Amino acid sequence: NAGVTQTPKFQVLKTGQSMTLQCAQDMNHNSMYWYRQDPGMGLRLIYYSASEGTTDKGEVPNGYNVSRLNKREFSLRLESAAPSQTSVYFCASGATYEQYFGPGTRLTVT
């Protein structure tokens, strides 16, 4: 039982490059979330998906897109990376307040 997995663990991008962060969960949860965490700041919700086939914006959606591929997988795409997107990205699944997080992706945009 892996819980929530994320790939990659680390990534360095140049400004303007694109990439997709992958997330998968094996807990049969309907809801999945993407957060970013910057030094000295709390988690900020980027996008969430209440169920397969639905996605909604969170607090900081600009510059990101998401895809809920199926019940297990929820991906986050950066179309044109900017240095301001340097952060740690966490995927989570579960109920609204009882969430299970993946190990995170540390992204640096130069």
Partner 1 sequence: RKEVEQDPGPFNVPEGATVAFNCTYSNSASQSFFWYRQDCRKEPKLLMSVYSSGNEDGRFTAQLNRASQYISLLIRDSKLSDSATYLCVPSSGGYQKVTFGIGTKLQVIP
- Binding residues for partner 1 (CB under 8 A): 31, 33, 35, 40-43, 45, 48, 50, 56, 58-59, 90, 96-104
| Shorter beta-carbon distance to partner 1: residue 34 or 75 | 34
| Shorter beta-carbon distance to partner 1: residue 5 or 17 | 5
CB of 19 to partner 1, least distance (A): 20
CB of 97 to partner 1, least distance (A): 5
CA distance 92 to 43: 11
| Shorter beta-carbon distance to partner 1: residue 14 or 97 | 97
C-alpha distance from residue 37 to each of 34, 71, 84, 87 (Å): 10, 25, 12, 6
Closest CA to 81 of 18, 3, 1: 18
| Shorter beta-carbon distance to partner 1: residue 63 or 103 | 103
CB of 48 to partner 1, least distance (A): 5
CB of 65 to partner 1, least distance (A): 18
CA distance 30 to 27: 9
Per the omega criterion (within 30 degrees of 0), is the bond before 8 cis? Answer: yes
The backbone torsions φ and ψ at residue 85, rounded to the nearest 5 degrees and listed phi first, read -95, 5
